[in-house]
Structure 1
Amino acid sequence: MKKMEEMMELFTDEIEGFSKSINKLESLSKNFVDLKIKTDTSSIEYLLKDFLKEQRKVITIYKEKTTEIKQGLRLARITPNWMATLFCITVTIQVLSLSYFAYHFIHSENRNKAAYIEGQKESNESARRYFEDHPIIYEDYKKWTRKKEGIQNQK
């Protein structure tokens, strides 16, 4: 019986410990039932709004930079400005020099023709004066030209 009494005591102690644990669990469970968790997303919303503002700024900067690059590409040239200017100056100098030489060539032809005509007139005048001063030679010259014309007519 002694053993039974000991076992009974042990069971009683265990039941008391178990009931204390249950009471403790019930009180804790009441605390959790009364506890209401509120979802407050205001701080997250604030951070999200701030992040979106930053993203909008970055996107506008990106768009501005791309439009600047596009404009730069539209205005970009394969050749630099100094090279285009040098080319225009060179072409202008060549056109002017060709025009000058063409003008000079045309007028030199005219001068040569005028000089030839002037020389012809001078030689004719000189021959006429010579023949006037020497009529005998003039008569011989006439005979010689007639002979020459006769020979040419026979051919």
Structure 2
Amino acid sequence: MAKLDEIAELLTEEIKGFETSVDRMEELKTFLMTYKIQADTSDIDFILTRYNDYQKKAIEDQHKMMANAVYYIKNSMNFPKWSIKLFSGLLIIAFVVLGYCVYKVSQIPEKRQEAFGQGE
């Protein structure tokens, strides 16, 4: 009988421990059911704002470069091909005439010698 009493006593202690565990689990269940979870998006917001600032800066740089390119394009001078060809043709003709004149002027002393030799 002593052994039976001992086993009964152990069983009652185990049952009491089990009941306390169940009570504790019920308390945790009620706590978890009423607990509100809130998402923390502060890290994501920080990353997105930093990316947004980077994109704004990149867009500003692109606008500055585009304005610079437009400024240089507006201030550049474009000549039609026909005017360049005409100018280069006139320049070549002027050099040919100038060369011919220099050639004729360089022959004057020879003509003087020839004219002197003929007695004119």
Give the shorter-chain TM-score range: 0.5 to 0.7
| Secondary structure in 2 matching 1:14 | helix
Alignment-mate amino acid for residue 30 of structure 1: T
- Listed as ranges, the matches of 1:95-110 within 5 Å are 102-110=103-111
1:116 aligns with 2:88: no
Q: Structure 1 residue 58: deviation in Å?
A: 3.6
User: Which residue of structure 1 lines up, in the alignment, with residue 2 of structure 2?
Assistant: 2
Pairing 1:74-85 to 2, within 5 Å after superposition:
none
Distance 2:3 2:26 in 1: 34
Alignment of 1:3-82 (within 5 A): 3-41=3-41, 44-58=44-58, 60-61=60-61, 64=65
> Once the two structures are superposed, what CA deviation does each residue of 1:71-129 show, in whole Å capped at 9, x if it has no partner?
8xxxxxxxxxxxxxxxxxxxxxxx9xx668524432123212321222xx6xxxxxxxx
Partner of 1:90: none
1:54 CA drift (Å): 1.4
Report the Cα distance in structure 2 between the residues aligned to 1:99 and 1:60, rounded to whole angstroms.
Answer: 61
Unaligned runs of 5+ in 2: 73-95
Q: How many residues align?
A: 92
Identity %: 30
Shift of residue 59, structure 1, vs aligned partner? 5.5
Larger-gyration structure (1/2)? 1
Q: CA deviation at 1:29?
A: 1.2
Q: What is the deviation of 1:42?
A: 5.0
**Residue identity opposite 1:29 in structure 2:** K
Give unpaired runs (5+ residues) of structure 1. Answer: 72-94, 122-155
Query: How much is the aligned-residue C-alpha RMSD, in angstroms?
Result: 3.3
Hey, what's the Cα distance between the residues in 2 that align with 1:2 and 1:99?
Answer: 147
* TM-score after normalising by structure 2: 0.58
Equivalent position of 2:77 in the other structure:
none
Other structure's SS at 2:37 match: coil
Aligned-partner Cα distance in 1 for 2:48–2:14:
55
